[in-house]
Amino acid sequence: MGRVEGKVALITGGASGLGAEDARLLAREGARVVITDVQDELGRQVAAEIPGALYLNHDVRDERRWGEVIAETLKAFGRLDILVNNAGLVRFASVEEMSYADYKIQVDVMLDGTFLGCKAAIPHMTKGGGGSIINMGSVGGMKGISAIPAYAGAKGGIIAMTRSIAVHCQEQGYKIRVNSIAPGAIETPMTAQALAELPDDDAGLDQVQDQGMGKPIDIANAVLFLASEDGRHITGANIVVDNGETAH
């Protein structure tokens, strides 16, 4: 207990799934948490479970709103030590079938949202003496799955961008570690959507059918590790949590 005691963590997409579990675990380990999302009712419910948690409506595509969210976090807690760029969504279709609108919203939320979050947080983390940024990638950004071209592009971009931002922070002498996590199949609302929408023989479901799914806590444990002093010598890394999916 207490592995992030006294730290302040901001988790985007924290109203459900992985983000909600990240918020719960970081809070249990001593962090004060700010949960942001566009799902207000669910977000407030999660925040109500966590003593002292703050919920904020937040469209991660909005650069101005990022500034406001950081300012509200600093007003409430005085610092920012941990940022988890977790907000995401998926639309299923092949490259031939997917509309540009469906492509664009996925890239805007996940890749652009992660860029904006890092850009907004870094100056304030440097003032506080450093911090840890954790960006949510996916094995979908590492292997070919035909039904998720936009999601794959966004998640692959997040993994690559994470390395670039990590190197920048080192070059500037900032004590900010920047890493990504690539989950495989995890029991979340997004995975439930995939199971409902994809045909049973879709290659993207092989891991679910062959090895089963992990739990949100499996990803939250990796987030905690990277956020805490346990991960103090790790930056620019992509931590794969997929029960061997990408090993085959």
pLDDT tens string, the chain, 248 residues long: the values are: 799 999 999 999 999 999 999 999 999 999 999 999 999 999 999 999 999 999 999 999 999 999 999 999 999 999 999 999 999 999 999 999 999 999 999 999 999 999 999 999 999 999 999 999 999 999 999 999 899 999 999 999 999 999 999 999 999 999 999 999 999 989 887 777 766 776 666 666 665 656 678 999 999 999 999 999 999 999 999 999 999 988 88
- Cα separation, 79 vs 102, in Å, equals 36
pLDDT at 209 (0 to 100) = 59
Amino acid of residue 110:
M
In degrees and rounded to multiples of 5, residue 145 shows phi and psi of: -130, 115
- Cα separation, 25 vs 220, in Å, equals 7
Q: Is 145 exposed, middle or buried (0-12, 13-18, 19+ CB in 10 A)?
A: buried
Judge whether 220 and 18 are in contact, CB under 8 Å.
Answer: yes
pLDDT at 207 (0 to 100) = 58
- Cα separation, 133 vs 81, in Å, equals 8
Active site residue 55: no
pLDDT at 104 (0 to 100) = 98
Q: Which residue has the tokens 């346990």?
A: 230
In degrees and rounded to multiples of 5, residue 240 shows phi and psi of: -90, 125
Judge whether 29 and 3 are in contact, CB under 8 Å.
Answer: yes
pLDDT at 212 (0 to 100) = 73
CATH code of domain 8-243: 3.40.50.720
Judge whether 133 and 170 are in contact, CB under 8 Å.
Answer: no
pLDDT at 189 (0 to 100) = 76
Q: How far apart are the first and last CA of the chain?
A: 36
pLDDT at 132 (0 to 100) = 98
- Cα separation, 49 vs 235, in Å, equals 31
Which of 55, 100, 103, 151 is labelled catalytic? 151
- Cα pseudo-dihedral 166, 167, 169, 174, rounded to 10: 110
pTM of the model: 0.94
pLDDT at 165 (0 to 100) = 98
pLDDT at 154 (0 to 100) = 98
- Cα separation, 64 vs 72, in Å, equals 13
- CA dist list (Å): 57 to 27, 69, 81, 90, 115: 20, 9, 20, 20, 19
Of 218, 62, 54, 238, give the one whose Cα is nearest residue 155. Answer: 238
pLDDT at 210 (0 to 100) = 63
Using left for φ > 0, alpha for ψ between -120 and 50, and beta otherwise, residue 174 falls in beta
